[in-house]
Copies of this chain bind each other. A is one copy, B any other.
Amino acid sequence: MADKTALVISAHSADFVWRCGGAIALHAARGYDVTVACLSYGERGESAKLWKNEGMTLDRVKTERRAEAENAAEALGVADIQFFDLGDYPLDLDRDAKFRIVDLIRKVQPAFMMSHSKYDPYNTDHMYATEIALETRMIAQAWGHNPGEKVLGAPQLYLFEPHQTEQMGWKPDVFLDISPVWEKKRAAIECMKGQEHLWAYYTNVAENRGNHFRRNSGGQSGGRAATHAEGFQSVFPRCVDEL
């Protein structure tokens, strides 16, 4: 049986909150150790509000963004959050940085991984993070990479919900009922002081995904009364014993 662990690879330090905060809180509540890897702080490209302050510096932005992310992680019950500080807009990893991600994957041995959509013309860091997730997952599976370490199995890679899903060609194939932990996700969202304009947006998303959960679980004939949900797209096929 796989360990109850999960790993989220987030291009910028706030992505994990909007896109899979519910999944994190839910799995944490179910006993999973969820690790979040923030490849950057989104310090250049996703901190407009901070930069509008007089005399702002890159270091101060990073510090603020890190604090927000740590608060959100705590609200969600994240077991471990790691900041790789690799720079954003653009995000770009050399071989060493990739191997550091591999080290983390092998240490966590996740039952499943999460990252961004495959395509994103608005934000090339996002799709690059997913390329990295696939590449480092592959390296972690290599028996010749740091021989002697425990080799990675074949964890699913879930692509979490991007902004403007249709433009990204993202299609969810699984809806997760996050009703029991919605308050935690909302609390984490409210830790994101710099992006308050998105609070209502992602609350709407969660409610409407709740509608999709109700519809796909049976609708008016037996559907589950979920109030909030999150959607994910699976990269790999599932292996099951019963349909």
Contact = CB atoms under 8 A, between A and B. Distances in A.
A211 interface: yes
B222 A52 contact: no
A98 to B, nearest CB: 7
Interface in A171-198: 171-177
Given A92-B95, A166-B170, A242-B27, A56 B147 contact: yes
B90 A135 contact: yes
Interface string A37-60: 000000111011001100010100
A52 to B, nearest CB: 7
Interface stretch (A66-74, A75-83, A233-241): A233-241
Interface residues of A, number: 93
A139 interface: yes
A224 B166 CA distance: 21
A240 B151 contact: no
A231 interface: yes
A200 interface: yes
A240 B174 CA distance: 7
A51 B223 contact: no
A135 B200 CA distance: 28
Contacts of A218: 153-154
A48 B103 CA distance: 19
A165 interface: yes
Given A124-B131, A221-B151, A175 B238 contact: yes
Contact of A166 (B44, B45, B171, B177): B171
Interface of A: 2, 6, 23, 26-27, 30, 43-45, 47-48, 51-52, 56, 58, 61, 88-90, 92, 95, 98, 112, 121-125, 131, 134-135, 138-139, 141-145, 147, 150-154, 156-158, 163-167, 169-177, 200-201, 204-205, 207-208, 211-213, 215-224, 226, 231-232, 234-243
